[in-house]
Chain A
Amino acid sequence: MNLRLSDLSACFEGVIPSIIATASADGMPNISYLSHVVRVDEEHVALSNQFFAKTAANIRANPKVTLILVDGFTGDQFLLDIGFVRSVDAGALFDKIARQLRASSVQVGMSDVMRLRSADIFRVHGIEKVPSPVETAPAMAGRAPVSLPALSEAIKAIEQQAEADEIIDSLLGSVQRVLGYSNALVLIQDNYRGCLITTGSIGYERSGLGSEIIGSEGLIGAAAMGGQTIKVSDMSRVRRFGEAIGLEAEGAENTTRTIAFPQLPMAMSQIAVPMTARGTVTGVLFIESTQRLAFREEDEAALEILAGQAASALRASEREAAVAETRQVTPLLEPAAGREIRIAHHRFDDSVFIDGTYIVKGVAGTLLRLMLEWHLNDGRSEFTNREMRLAAGARMPEIKDNLETRLLLLRRRLEEKRAPIRLVRAGRGRVRLEAEGPLILDATAGD
């Protein structure tokens, strides 16, 4: 059987180091390990040009090169006869190689060390499987392929949802149904605070709703920043990115105003897929698994399709909500009887505490404060998306693109913390505030 590069997909995950053998012009061989080999197409591979000087010099003097690649799943080895073609130091191919290298550097805990300057492209002349003294484990290909009909159904389901919560839940449900992954998060970009905020979550002991990834931190931040999917296929040698999280994390929320990022303790594979609409990254779909090499190329493609669909649906949902008809709002009837509910809002980070319990900060915190002020001043309990946009938009212009997801985050955090205030959808582009008692807003809470 003639082997093709696409049969070797588990060799390109950077899990087990590859080996490169070169020879100088006078025929003296040289051998070293290689951090990462990238499959360019069926006939070419790219190597990060971070070799030792001798390897680099040999390649230029003698283009004949041999690689040993190792399947990170089965341990099978392959000998590749390759020939040097050219170097690239810019352009789409270079960017692709740089991204893959970055992901694999995350994998071996060397993300700060690796900086790709150029990459070498090689033509593959032959691939041989190296004989194994033992029968190797069945290849990853043993798993059933992604079902296209199921993927199509999932896309239709996402497309049919009008509200942000339904879109996000539909996306997470699809990840589970179509691809069988049980631990997934949706993070939505918050340009106001320069972070990504967990807005949907399945499979975790603690949902982590409201937790944040700052800037380009970790896999998720890198995927959002670069607009490209990044995965890690073997975490056994990596420290988990993000904050170290203790058991007291939940209790610490009230003092740190930071929600702990959800964790899958035995995670071995992770993938971060940017949610892109019209060329703009609006969020990240993040999935993890306790299996090594869980995410195949086709899983990656399916996840990108789902994430893209959800991003477009969220964008459409924001636009529809923004122009939804504003019928006469109903005044609040008598204020609810019951014990007083104290809400503190801190202006410096827009964090909100209800009866001393931290709920949320940033845009979502601002929105709650707005609604409470209107409620207390006008006696109203229903508010339109449009008026919130107008009121908060001057200070937070990006709100026009993601008010719905911020309201969703606020609603879910109130539910999760069993707050005596709830936010209920009251029609397209409209929410209602429900409280278990009279509200007292302390908007000048000490910072």
Chain B
Amino acid sequence: MRLDDRLLDFFNRPLMCIIAVADETGRPSAGRGVGFHLLEDRETIDVIFSAWQWPRLEPCIRKTSRIATTFVSPSDYVSFQLKGSATLRSTETSDLDRAGRFIAAATDELESLGVSRPLIAPWLTAREARVARFAISEIYIQTPGPLAGMLAGARSQ
């Protein structure tokens, strides 16, 4: 699936990110993402998470590759879920910079909505950052409301 212009606009907003994976027995696990990078092809995304904080994510991705990530704009709950088959690639300095910017923007956004910084601080860390890269195979509207669960994005060319 390809991200259309509307989705690209969405990804320029301050966002929060949550990640689900599953092990080979079908047991899901979850964690938070702390950054992302959309590749030029609009069909591939890198998602950054802390292996220190969410130690179950990395082994599951290595075993089953399956990943689902939901991005939400906290001010209006607009959300999209992206799914695909991920591989882990090595973490680079630029990933850490992205994570730093993502965490700062998310913290500022949540604070502007009335959530205090000390409350947010435990949620977002790039310690032992890992990067999962996946080709987006499914995109769903996740915003609460009548369109929830509908497909979004455009078919790959």
Determine whether B88 belongs to the interface, using a CB cutoff of 8 Å to chain A. Answer: no
**Known contacts A27-B64, A52-B148, A75-B122; A33/B27 CB under 8 A:** no
- The interface stretch among B7-15, B35-43, B65-73, B90-98 is B65-73
**Known contacts A28-B22, A30-B81, A75-B122; A81/B27 CB under 8 A:** yes
What's the minimum C-beta distance from B149 to chain A, rounded to whole angstroms?
5
Q: Is the CB of B140 within 8 A of A29?
A: no
Q: Is the CB of A52 within 8 A of B149?
A: yes
Bound Cα distance A133, B100 (Å) = 14
Q: Is the CB of B121 within 8 A of A28?
A: no
Contacts of B30 in A (CB 8 A): 19-21, 31, 66-68, 79
- Contact residues, B72-121 vs A (CB, 8 A): 72, 79, 81, 83, 113-115, 118-121
Contacts of A74 in B (CB 8 A): 119, 122
Provide the main secondary structure of the chain B interface.
mixed
Contacts of A64 in B (CB 8 A): 25-28
From the candidates B56, B66, B69, B122, name the one contacting A77 in the complex (CB within 8 A).
Answer: B122
From the candidates A20, A23, A76, A81, name the one contacting B22 in the complex (CB within 8 A).
Answer: A23
**Known contacts A29-B68, A33-B72, A54-B140; A134/B121 CB under 8 A:** yes
From the candidates A27, A31, A72, A77, name the one contacting B81 in the complex (CB within 8 A).
Answer: A31
Contacts of A134 in B (CB 8 A): 118, 121-122
A50's nearest neighbour on chain B, judged by CB, is: B144
What's the minimum C-beta distance from B5 to chain A, rounded to whole angstroms?
25
Q: Is the CB of B81 within 8 A of A29?
A: no
**Known contacts A65-B28, A66-B30; A75/B19 CB under 8 A:** no
| Interface 0/1 of B130-146, CB less than 8 Å to A | 00000000001010000
Bound Cα distance A75, B20 (Å) = 20
Determine whether A131 belongs to the interface, using a CB cutoff of 8 Å to chain B. Answer: yes
From the candidates A29, A62, A72, name the one contacting B20 in the complex (CB within 8 A).
Answer: A29
Q: Is the CB of A131 within 8 A of B142?
A: no
From the candidates A75, A81, A130, A136, name the one contacting B54 in the complex (CB within 8 A).
Answer: A130
| Interface 0/1 of A50-93, CB less than 8 Å to B | 00111000000010111110101011110101000000000000
Bound Cα distance A72, B148 (Å) = 26
What's the minimum C-beta distance from A66 to chain B, rounded to whole angstroms?
5
- Contact residues, A9-24 vs B (CB, 8 A): 16, 19-23
The residue among B20, B54, B121 with the most chain A CB atoms within 10 A of its own CB is: B20
B29's nearest neighbour on chain A, judged by CB, is: A66
Q: Is the CB of A54 within 8 A of B121?
A: no
Bound Cα distance A338, B113 (Å) = 60
**Known contacts A28-B83, A64-B28, A66-B27; A132/B122 CB under 8 A:** yes
From the candidates A19, A27, A75, A136, name the one contacting B18 in the complex (CB within 8 A).
Answer: A19
- Contact residues, A26-43 vs B (CB, 8 A): 27-33
> What are some 15 contacts across the A-B interface (CB < 8 A)?
A16-B119, A21-B29, A21-B30, A25-B26, A27-B24, A27-B26, A28-B68, A29-B83, A31-B19, A31-B30, A33-B79, A52-B148, A75-B119, A133-B53, A137-B119
